[in-house]
A and B are shown apart, each in its own frame.
Chain A
Amino acid sequence: MLLRQKIFSVALLLTLSLSSQAEEWLSKFDLQQYQGQVVYLDFWASWCGPCRKSFPWLNEMEDRYKKDGLIIVGVNLDSDIEAAKRFLKNVPADFRVFSDPDGELADQYKLIGMPSSFVIDRNGEVRHRHVGFKKSDIDSYETSIQELLKEAS
């Protein structure tokens, strides 16, 4: 009986800790912060269909490669941050997010479509980029992450 109670309370704690996982809004974004780590920069918006599809995969990547030094930053381009927050209620993100309502970063990275992703190596160089999110290409996205994680800074 006591054991059963223990198991129950552990299970309860686990569900609580899992459900309280939320995205972390960065107050500033600077690549320098993540020197020596692989950064996956993903530009998204609440009105963008493929972005919605990409989030579960991004969460998976965060979970799988966090320990190896992968940093996923989702740069949100909604002019209204509330729209972004509503989106995240339905489509949760377990990675860092940053609000860029004026598209300054988007301008800097010269996006040609949405979503756009950039994989940046441990020295801050952009090594891979892709536009859109295709389920058929997720293996190649993941390979690009693995390759850069293997490199020393």
Chain B
Amino acid sequence: MNKRSSKVILVLSLFTLLSACSSMGVKPWERDVLAREDMALDSAPMDAAFDDHIYFSKEASSGGQTFGGGGCGCN
């Protein structure tokens, strides 16, 4: 591999980074699978809510543990 082609490869690989995080995550309208009961991380929603409450109280920040919210854009 000569210098020039390695430069081309470097530039091309840098281009792939341009998309950054634009395609990351689940879009608000793509949550049908996540919303299914069998996709819940915990079979007891009350337990999950309780754990989540302790988590964000200790962390002093909410979110991050799971992808909360119902997709209505309110949290």
- Over the window 104-148 of chain A, the binary record of Cβ atoms lying under 8 Å from chain B Cβ atoms (1 yes, 0 no) is 001100011111100000000000000110000000000000000
Interface size on B, residues (CB 8 A): 14
The interface bits of chain B over 15-58 (1 if a CB of A lies within 8 angstroms of the residue's CB, else 0) are 00000000000011111110110000000000000000000000
- Cβ of A47 and Cβ of B32 under 8 Å apart? yes
B70 interface residue (CB < 8 Å to A):
yes
Besides A79-B32, A114-B28, A131-B72, 6 other CB < 8 A contacts? A47-B32, A48-B70, A48-B71, A106-B29, A113-B74, A114-B70
- Are A131 and B29 touching (Cβ within 8 A)? no
Q: Which residue numbers of B lie inside 8 Å of A, CB to CB?
A: 27-33, 35-36, 70-74
Q: List the A side residues contacting B31 at CB < 8 Å.
A: 45, 47, 114
Chain A residue nearest to B32 in the complex (CB): A47
Which secondary structure characterizes the binding site on chain A? loop
Bound-state Cα–Cα, A80 to B30, Å: 11
Is B73 within 8 A of A113, CB to CB? Answer: yes
In whole angstroms, how far apart are the Cα atoms of A78 and B32 in the complex? 7
* Across-interface contacts of A83 in B (CB, < 8 A): 32
Within the complex, which residue of B27, B70, B74 is in contact with A103, where a contact is CB–CB below 8 Å?
B27
Contact A113 B71 (CB under 8 A): yes
In the complex the two chains form, what is the Cα distance from A85 to B29 in whole Å?
17
